[in-house]
Amino acid sequence: MANKPKIKELLDERACAHNKTRKTACNEPTPGATTGGCAFEGAQISLFPYADAAPLVHGPMTCHGTSWETRATGTSWKGRDLTQMGFTTDININDVVFSGEEKISASIDYIVKRYRPEAVFVYSTCVTALIGDDIDLLCKQAAERHDIPMIPVHSPGFVGSKNLGSRLGGEAALAYLVGTKEPEETTPFDINLIGEYNVTGDMWQYTPLLEELGIRVLSTLSGDGRVAQIRTAHRARLNVIVCAKSLISLARKMDERYGIPSISLSFYGKRDTSKGLLAIAMALGDADLIKRTEKLIAREERKLEKKLAPYKVFFRGRKAVLNTGGNKTWSIAAALQDLGIEVVATAVKKATEDDREKARMTLGDKGVLMMNPGVEQAKLIDETGADLLLAGGRSLYTAIKKGIAFADVNQEKKKSYGGYDGLLNLAEDLKNALQNPVFKIVARRAPWEK
Amino acid sequence: MGEVIRKREKPLQVNPFKLSQPMGATLAFLGVDKCMPLMHGGQGCTSFTKVFFTRHFCEPIAIQTSAVTDVIAVLDGGDYSIVESVKNITQKVSPSLIGLHTTGLPETKGDDIRGVARKIEFPMVAVNTPDYEGGFESGWALACKAMIEQLVEPAGHINDNKLVLLPHVSLQPIEVEKIKEFIGGFGFNVLALPDLSTSLDGHLGEKQAALSSGGIAVEEIRSLGDAGLVISVGDSMRDCAIALQKKNTDMRHHHFAHLQGLEATDSLVEMLLAETGFSGPPLPVARWRLRLQDAMLDSHFSLGQSRFLVAAEPDQLAGICQSLHDAGGKVALAISTVDSPQLEKLMADKVIVGDLEDAEDMADDYDVMIGNFHCEAIAHRLHMGLILRGYPNWEQVGNSLKNDVLYEGGSYFLFEAANTASGTQNE
């Protein structure tokens, strides 16, 4: 049990900005007024992308039946892609009454025999945590039986939010994988990418640039990841946290244990990508590397600007209203600005204080930070003459009523908007939205309403 | 009718397509107008379910959670979390009904949700749907039965023109509408419970997702007791019909295992003719029967040389297998999510209760896969033909308007199957 994370400790992360104001924003959902996923979802999000490891979910069908093969986390793994496979004990009433422990061991044996994974992650869920199935012990026994890491992930949904779950996932990786194997070789420019899950191939937008600079991605948590690599993560020179507040505590602990400093950045939009690349080079502290990075950034920005030029002509004078939450409130806003679109308002109702500050900086004094976007956005579209509403599906009707273009920012995206080239994808999609006559035609009154 | 394997030696599900009981209940409550489904459990169950249906229907989905935490799970018997939930929901919106359904978590500790619901002064239906029992089909049926038992007022007279339709969970919104219209053509006033045809049919509406936007009205459910006839479609719905008959012993019941293909539709028409005394069906019905006959003949050549895998909920399996079989399609393997009386009757060489790993293991036996979104990766990898049916379909849009039932939908289905099969053969 020594490795079991203390939930209280994880909730009280001193590296978290919002903790200074002593607000426990990550805690206690309200019955009947809660949105957002649970700890189990967060844990599997942070660990699923290891294509050489099998995720075994010990629980009833809702947990995994709804959630496997839901994220487009690309992998270059040549073997059977276990990120897109589902394994669950699908417990029944017998298991609830008499324990499901036998099922776990048998399932692990089955998976190892058939799929030969490098590791198995065993997730507990609400029901199996409540009945007290001992996944720690079963994993320990299975690890001895099969001689590969078996990682218990204590992530029952009822302990908290998705964010907390991601932390629990990170803790499990830290406790059972990091530092359990030595890399074949090390370089002065080895980094770990933390919190980058490579959804729609986001990280492949910038990893070739890192490679060109001689920066080696030693391991990831967990985009295009391998268990064999995360085991060597303790030898990296730098932890790079990509858009993931949830994994700050993991990075802090790796700093304490292995002396690996960390930086936090985003690869969304031109400016952030450039800033991010430079920040990595500076953190690695090599003068020549910094010089080469600056050169590369200049080259890439030039290339991008050339390709963006026709889009910028098209977007000139266009205005957008953005209604989303979290870090998207400012990161998408910044990317839109990179395209030459003016962001007249962004919703900050579902954003932390830190995100609100960044949103204010991104939008400038003129931009509106909406605290009640459901009511405000329609009015703001009228007042500002906005051409485009970026929001979740619920707001579609607002756009139709106002006869302006709509883009669903919450929809599971199909292509990457990350890095320099991702910005071109975003530009193309938004151009298509703005040129599409559908929003105006759909808004026609029915003949019998005239 | 072939070999049926119910007992699994496998300790786990690999690439599952089975769905949970509470999710079926959620969907049933979404077929009631201005309803708020309230899932009693951890917040994740609700979040997963919401995202699941949002992606399938491309529509915002109304649902709330009692957000049981670890502490509440131990200390509370549901009183706090359910009462708080209702309070917080009704502060923001005014549902006509709250559909309370459980998950495994509160069931494991044994919350008395009916008792709690009774104490709350708000229209509620409470149903136990632990996700470690049953599946999608039974969750839908249990919620439907609970609505009948807890809402429908007993009646002592019958209205001969009033007919209650009880559709199984796998019928898409347009299919429910088509069956309602079909029966309505014989002069009946048809009410479906649940009724997805006006709630999740994918219509542009103003107030989206605050509550379910369409479906059968709660008042209509309360007064279902005077219907002269009840029709259940799918074996999972039989108990619901029996529960409804208990509200009025004069109500007559007709059961259909499914409504796909020529014979099943014929038997529906025969029943409707017998009940009404009509000498023939409305003109469009007769016309569509001719078209289906032609469709069967046009498609029989391609289907006759094709082997299918069908992976679906039992009631949908019954319809699809029959439909293919009648035009010569050979169902080499039918995989069901759960056990059901349907399995004995399936027109398939082999029937198993299993998962999509089982499907992959038998891939040499078939050329075309029929199943949900999770079949796509397998079909792609093994170069199989693919017809997407069932929940979820995250790959395509327009799911709510896919029609496989009666003479009309049967024709569309056979053409789609035949075209997919010949596309596979030509590769």
Among 3.40.50.1980, 3.30.70.20, 3.30.470.20, 3.40.50.300, what is the CATH number of A7-176?
3.40.50.1980
- pLDDT at position A19: 53
What interface predicted TM-score (ipTM) does this complex get?
Answer: 0.96
Tokens of A156: 């029952």
Mark yes or no for CB contact A62/B209 under 8 Å: no
**Mean of the pLDDT values across residues B217-238?**
98
- What is the tens place of the pLDDT at every residue in B249-266? 999 999 999 999 999 999
d(CA B26, CA B277): 39
Candidates A196, A64, A49, A50; CA nearest to A119 is A50
* Residue of B7, B13, B38, B90 for testing the chain A interface, max A β-carbons within 10 Å: B13
Q: How far is CA A257 from CA A250, A354, B128, in A?
A: 11, 28, 48
The separation between CA B81 and the C-alpha centre of its own chain, rounded to angstroms, equals 29
Those residues whose C-beta lies under 8 Å from the C-beta of residue A354, and which sit 6 or more positions away, are: A17, A18
Q: Are strands A319-322 and B64-65 parallel, antiparallel or unpaired?
A: unpaired
Distance, in Å, from the CA atom of A289 to the CA atom of A303, rounded to the nearest integer, reads 21
CA distance B52 to B130: 18
Mean pLDDT of B217-246: 98
Q: How many residues does chain A have?
A: 450
**Closest CB from A66, A107, A393 relative to B12:** A107
CA distance B254 to chain A (A): 33
B271-306: per-residue pLDDT in tens? 999 999 999 999 999 999 999 999 999 999 999 999
Read off the amino acid at residue B373: F
Quote the CA–CA distance of B354 and B256 in Å, as a whole number: 25
Q: Among A228, A424, A210, A234, which Cα is nearest to A297's?
A: A210
Indicate yes or no: CB of A31 within 8 angstroms of CB of B44.
no
A413 burial level (CB within 10 Å; 0-12, 13-18, 19+): middle
E strand map for B145-301: 159-166, 189-192, 227-233, 252-256
If chain A, 450 residues long, is cut into consecutive pieces of 10 residues, what is the mean pLDDT of each piece? 61 59 60 92 96 97 96 92 95 94 97 97 96 97 98 96 94 97 97 95 96 98 96 98 88 97 94 96 98 98 97 97 90 94 94 91 94 92 96 87 89 86 95 95 90
DSSP three-state, residue B335: strand
The CATH classification number of A190-301 equals: 3.40.50.12380
Q: For residue B337, what is the DSSP state? A: S
Q: Residue A84 and residue B377: Cβ atoms within 8 Å?
A: yes
End-to-end CA distance of chain B: 30
pLDDT averaged over chain B?
96
DSSP state for residue A189 in the 8-state scheme: T
Q: Quickly tell me which residue has 């098209």 as its tokens.
A: A314
Q: With H, G, I as helix, E, B as strand and everything else as coil, classify residue A88.
A: strand
Strand partners, A225: A50
CA pair distance B71, B93, nearest whole angstrom: 28
CB within 8 Å of chain A, chain B residues 130-169:
130-133, 135
| Contact residues, A window 121-180, toward B, CB-based 8 Å cutoff | 126-127, 129-131, 156-162
Torsion angle of the four alpha carbons B257, B261, B263, B267, in this order, in degrees rounded to the nearest 10: 60
Tell me whether A89 touches chain B (CB under 8 Å): yes
Q: C-alpha dihedral over A9, A11, A16, A19, to 10 degrees?
A: -100
The β-bridge partners of A191 are: A217, A238
User: When comparing pLDDT for B102 and B109, which is higher?
Assistant: B102
The kind and range of the H/E element at A431 are: helix A419-435
Which residue type sits at A362?
T
- Please tell me the distance from the alpha carbon of residue B189 to that of residue B2, in angstroms, as a whole number: 40
Contact, B237 vs B167, CB < 8 A?
yes
Q: Identify the pLDDT of residue B295.
A: 98
Residue A24: the pLDDT is: 47
d(CA B387, CA B181): 26
| Residue B412 near chain A (CB below 8 Å) | no
Return the CATH class of domain A308-442. Answer: alpha beta
Q: What percent of chain B stands above pLDDT 90?
A: 91
Break chain A down into helix, strand, coil percent, rounded to 5: 50, 15, 35
Query: What are the start and end residues of each CATH 3.40.50.1980 domain in chain B?
Result: 3-8+285-426, 21-134, 159-275
Dihedrals φ, ψ of B299, to 5°? -95, -10
Q: Say which CATH superfamily domain B3-8+285-426 falls into.
A: Nitrogenase molybdenum iron protein domain (3.40.50.1980)
- φ, ψ (nearest 5 deg) of residue B64: -130, 165
Domain boundary assignment for chain A:
7-176, 190-301, 308-442
A348-357, B158-167, B345-354: which range is least confident on average?
A348-357
CATH topology for the B159-275 domain? Rossmann fold (3.40.50)
CB atoms B13 and A60 under 8 Å: no
Rounded to the nearest angstrom, the minimum Cα separation between B126 and chain A is: 15
> Can you give the pLDDT at residue A408?
87
- Angle at the Cα of A319 (from A314 to A320), degrees rounded to 5? 115
Q: Of the candidates B315, B344, B337, which has an alpha carbon nearest to the alpha carbon of residue B237?
A: B315
Burial of A312 (C-beta count, 10 Å sphere; 0-12/13-18/19+): middle
Say which CATH class B21-134 falls into. alpha beta
CA dist., res. B84 & res. B72, Å (int): 12
What DSSP letter does each residue of A260-310 carry, written as one string? --EEEE--BSHHHHHHHHHHHHHHHT-HHHHHHHHHHHHHHHHHHHHHHHH
Residue B137 Cα to chain centre, angstroms? 6
Contact flag A88-B13 (C-beta cutoff 8 Å): yes
pLDDT value, residue A1:
39
Cβ of A15: how many Cβ atoms within 10 Å? 14
* Two domains, one topology: A7-176 and A308-442: yes
Q: At what angle do helices B314-326 and B406-426 cross, to 10 degrees?
A: 70
Chain A residue numbers with beta carbons less than 8 Å from the beta carbon of B65 are 29, 31-32, 34
Determine the distance in angstroms separating the CA of B211 from the nearest CA of chain A, rounded to an integer: 12
* pLDDT higher at B231 or B78: B231
Q: Average pLDDT in the B18-31 region?
A: 98
For A60, the closest of B86, B131, B206 (CB atoms) is B131
Judge whether residue B168 has pLDDT over 80.
yes
What is the identity of the amino acid at B191? L
Alpha carbon A79 to its chain centroid, in Å, reads 24
Neighbouring CB atoms inside 10 A of A238's CB total 20
Q: Which two tokens stand for residue A87?
A: 């394994």
| A 401-420 → B contacts, CB under 8 A | 412
